[in-house]
Amino acid sequence: MILGAAEPAYVEMMAETVTAGDPTYTGPLAGVSLGLPVYHVTEPEVREITDASVYQDQIALSEMAMETDKIWESIRAVRGRSSGS
């Protein structure tokens, strides 16, 4: 699962939703633990396997506007919890 949202809190919520289950208990994934591997599109793991010109055209500018440090920290924390569970 690859996420593209710009808001760290939102990224964390979406990542949580597709791993442990919907933390807000409002959607169909409430209590459903899918345990999917989840990454943000700006993370090095994704960037390494993306065509550089496509990344430049489609993602580069958005990445500049994002607080990638916080986004990566959030999503890595979710992955850490998910792999440890």
Interface pick for another protein out of 23, 46, 47, 59 (rule CB under 8 A): 59
Is 65 a binding residue for another protein by CB under 8 A? The answer is yes
Q: Rule CB under 8 A: is residue 58 a binding residue for another protein?
A: yes
Measured from the CB of residue 58, what is the shortest distance to another protein in angstroms? 4
Give 39's strand partners.
Answer: 2
- Rounded to whole angstroms, the Cα distance separating 64 from 42 reads 10
Tell me the C-alpha distance between 28 and 68, whole Å: 29
Least separation in angstroms between CB 5 and another protein: 8
* 12 close to 23: Cβ distance less than 8 angstroms: no
Residue numbers at the binding site for another protein (CB under 8 A): 6-7, 9-10, 13, 57-62, 64-66
